[in-house]
Amino acid sequence: PAEQVATWLIQHEQYVVVNDLHKVDFWDPDAPGAAGLRSAMGVLLETNDDVQGVMVLLSHRVNAFSEEQVRLLLAAANQVASHISSAELYHLIREQAERLGHLLRQEQEEAERNTAILESIADGVILADADGSVMLFNSAAERILDLPREQVQGQLLSELGKLYGERVRTWAQALDQWAHQLKTDTEGRALDQRFDLGNRVVSVNVSPVFSGERFLGTVAVFRDITRDVEIDRIKSDFITRVSHEFRTPLTPIKGYTDLLLMGAAGSLAEQQENALAKIKSNVDRLATLVDDVLSIAKIDRGLQKLEIVEVDLRELIINVVDRLQQRPHHAARNHTVNVEIAKDLPNIQADRDRVINIIANVVDNAFSYTPAGGKIDVEAARQPGTNSVLITVRDTGLGIPENFREKVWQRFERYEEHALELEVSGTGLGLPIVKELVALHNGDVWFESEEGVGTTFFISLPINQPGYMTTTQTMMANTESTGD
């Protein structure tokens, strides 16, 4: 029966005194337990306008409760409400403290687990905060860099290279420049470098860490690649030696074949001439392969130097295209070949032999992957808006499939389906060599292709090379230096 009073009280008043329950609308005398009850007194249990509950007193007498009793009940209700609120607050604080403690334990366990992982990996790891101060320096980093962590932690990452002096000056300068660019570079580009550290070679990758656009810090990963570098050197030496051994017998074979074809040993029957022509063609292919392998070996070892001279691109392109067009396996396909050289095309400063390699490889690809009766266009002109020339090689060949385009510049990669279809020989070294040689000339090379329609290669080469002087300039410089 007290619920009837409590419900009405919550909806209407802070407290109530009912002298006769049978005279109020909300009372149901037939409710269970209500028989004989005649008067009531009730107050709300409130804390900051938040109802915690209700206190109700009932009596079998009419007019059983006085105003004095109401004031006493209100005072008691305030005390009870305060204690209830305090108890709830205590439980809430306790729950929050337990939850926070659990989260802190989880975070500590996660940090310990991450630290254990970082300490166990073979690569050196350095973690710096947003200000560049080193926070973490694992044991592998100590071993690879030969530095105690006590000496490094707290130091600026950009100052790390300076601990070695001149030995890693180049890397230190690159790191300083990267750190400066990072202030305005929101893309977060990584820095990849390698440097010699005594008798060891160390590779380092430095990456920024962002949360959205907020820069959190830097992670540097160091790896001792001395063994890998030594293996590459041994491999390059082996390839170079083997290639030279291949080239040695090829030279007389090619020479004597040419002499026989010229009739030096007497006239040849048609069948003999065809046989010698096949020998010559395959010797040329093998010689080209050996040259490609030697070029790759030189590039890998940093021995590919450029002999810069004035190069007449017009003459060079025409000669390369004519030579390739006359190869028997190209000539047999009856391609339509157009060469268009701009009248104002300037000479360029370049390594003549390397430019021949570049153009020959790209044009040879156009011949090789264009079916019989197809069309090949070779164009050269000034590149608009630049101090460069643009050589364009366009064919109506098979095109390069979408899923293979990223592999075009990778070594020993060929799309075998097209190579088998058109009986194209090769190792997949031509285009990687082109890219390396173009880069050595401070140029660029790219392509556009549509499968079943054809491919267009673009080769951009600068007209002038930094530090190169023409013959006239050299003579003038020598004259000035001698005072004549």
Judgement on whether residues 412 and 424 belong to the same structural domain of the protein: yes
Q: Is residue 426 included in any domain, yes or no?
A: yes
Judgement on whether residues 343 and 449 belong to the same structural domain of the protein: yes
Per DSSP bridges, beta strands 50-59 and 124-129 are: unpaired
Domain count, the chain: 4
- Cα(421)–Cα(432) distance, integer angstroms: 22
Beta bridge pairs of residue 58: 40
Q: Which pLDDT score is estimated for 472?
A: 45
Q: Which pLDDT score is estimated for 187?
A: 57
> Residue 446 sits in a domain of what CATH number?
3.30.565.10
- Cα(67)–Cα(61) distance, integer angstroms: 16
**H or E stretch covering 240:** helix 226-261
- Of 77, 92, 107, which closes a domain? 92
Q: Which pLDDT score is estimated for 460?
A: 95
- Going by C-alpha positions, the residue among 475, 441, 480, 447 that lies closest to residue 461 is 441
> What range does the domain containing 331 cover?
306-484
Residue 276, pLDDT > 80, answer: yes
Judgement on whether residues 464 and 329 belong to the same structural domain of the protein: yes
For range 34-56, the mean pLDDT = 80
Q: How confident is the model at residue 238 (pLDDT cuts 50, 70, 90)?
A: confident
Judgement on whether residues 300 and 338 belong to the same structural domain of the protein: no
Judgement on whether residues 433 and 313 belong to the same structural domain of the protein: yes
Angle subtended at Cα 331 by Cα 325 and Cα 335, rounded to the nearest 5 degrees: 80
pLDDT tens for residues 71-84? 888 888 888 877 77
Per DSSP bridges, beta strands 214-224 and 124-129 are: antiparallel
Length reported for the chain: 484
End-to-end CA distance of the chain: 126
Judgement on whether residues 323 and 436 belong to the same structural domain of the protein: yes
Judgement on whether residues 190 and 251 belong to the same structural domain of the protein: no
Q: Which pLDDT score is estimated for 165?
A: 62
Q: How confident is the model at residue 199 (pLDDT cuts 50, 70, 90)?
A: confident
Q: How confident is the model at residue 469 (pLDDT cuts 50, 70, 90)?
A: low
3-class SS of residue 446? strand
Judgement on whether residues 404 and 475 belong to the same structural domain of the protein: yes
Judgement on whether residues 334 and 420 belong to the same structural domain of the protein: yes
Q: Which pLDDT score is estimated for 175?
A: 67
> Residue 148 sits in a domain of what CATH number?
3.30.450.20
pLDDT tens for residues 312-352? 999 999 999 999 998 888 888 999 999 999 999 999 999 99
Q: How confident is the model at residue 203 (pLDDT cuts 50, 70, 90)?
A: confident
Q: Which pLDDT score is estimated for 301?
A: 72
- Residue holding tokens 């093998």? 286
Judgement on whether residues 313 and 458 belong to the same structural domain of the protein: yes
Question: pTM for the whole thing?
Answer: 0.55
- Cα(143)–Cα(160) distance, integer angstroms: 15
3-class SS of residue 360? helix
Judgement on whether residues 484 and 390 belong to the same structural domain of the protein: yes
Judgement on whether residues 344 and 405 belong to the same structural domain of the protein: yes
- Going by C-alpha positions, the residue among 207, 206, 180, 209 that lies closest to residue 193 is 206
- Cα(240)–Cα(243) distance, integer angstroms: 5
Q: Which pLDDT score is estimated for 471?
A: 46
Q: Which pLDDT score is estimated for 179?
A: 64
> Residue 19 sits in a domain of what CATH number?
3.30.450.40
Mean pLDDT, the chain, integer: 82
